[in-house]
Amino acid sequence: MAARIILIAALLALASSRALAFDPSPLQDFCVADYDSQEFVNGFACKNRKNVTVDDFYFTGLDKAASTSNELGANITLVNVERLPGLNTLGVAMSRIDYAPFGLNPPHSHPRSSEILHVAEGTLYAGFVTSNTAQGNLLFAKKLNKGDAFVFPRGLVHFQFNNGDIPAVAFATFGSQSPGLVTAANALFGSKPPIPDYILARAAQLSKTTVDWLQEQQWLDIAQENGPPSVQAN
């Protein structure tokens, strides 16, 4: 009997650990993020309900194009829990992505969420790469037109490229209040402190001279997760 109880307890622990691998379910109507709290929790502590206002659930600016005057020709207006406190514990976030002609949202991944992308204007070439398989890392990519949607599985490297000569706009939705962002090139060649060049040279089969040059570049982050979005004036 004791052995059966231990087995059941172990299975329940395993099930609960798998469930908690994603954003936890809310236990109340809302838990508006208290940015000033000194409590360390998984997410943000709740603001006192007496101090909650309608503006805690409100974000404006997604109708405005962000500046794409950068090396990548793209910019992201991210709406996550750091920018919209009412998202805390609700397990969702979204973003607007603006692309100049031939602009690129470079290969990146979201460690805490899958993503669904909707093309609102223009055309995009978008895809993702699988994790290691016996056949290698498989690319699933497709040209997307206005009105199309495409799914990027959680944690997989993906990208979007505006293959048209007019600007494009897309909206992305995430299954986490804070999906996270790991841009492949930035992580490899722009980490602080840097990954030793002899490790990257061997891993990427490049010369140390090439790796050193790559590490000297200023790697652009077009999706700053904190702070107000960069919106160009009309």
Q: What is the rounded CA–CA span in Å between residue 103 and residue 232? A: 17
Based on the number of CB atoms within 10 Å of its own CB, is 103 exposed (0-12), middle (13-18) or buried (19 or more)?
A: buried
Binding residues for oxalate: 105, 110, 115
Binding residues: 105, 108, 110, 115, 158
CB count within 10 Å of CB 226 equals: 8
Q: What is the rounded CA–CA span in Å between residue 155 and residue 180? A: 10
Binding residues for Mn(2+): 108, 110, 115, 158
138 phi and psi angles, rounded to 5 deg:
-85, 135
Paired tokens of 34: 């208290």
Contacts of 79 (CB under 8 A, 6+ apart): 59, 62, 87, 93, 94, 95
* In 122-197, beta strands by DSSP E: 124-129, 139-144, 149-152, 157-161, 168-174, 182-183
* Strands ordered across the beta sheet of 139-144: 139-144, 124-129, 157-161, 104-109, 182-183
Q: Which of 121, 118, 114, 159 is nearest to 140 (CA)?
A: 159
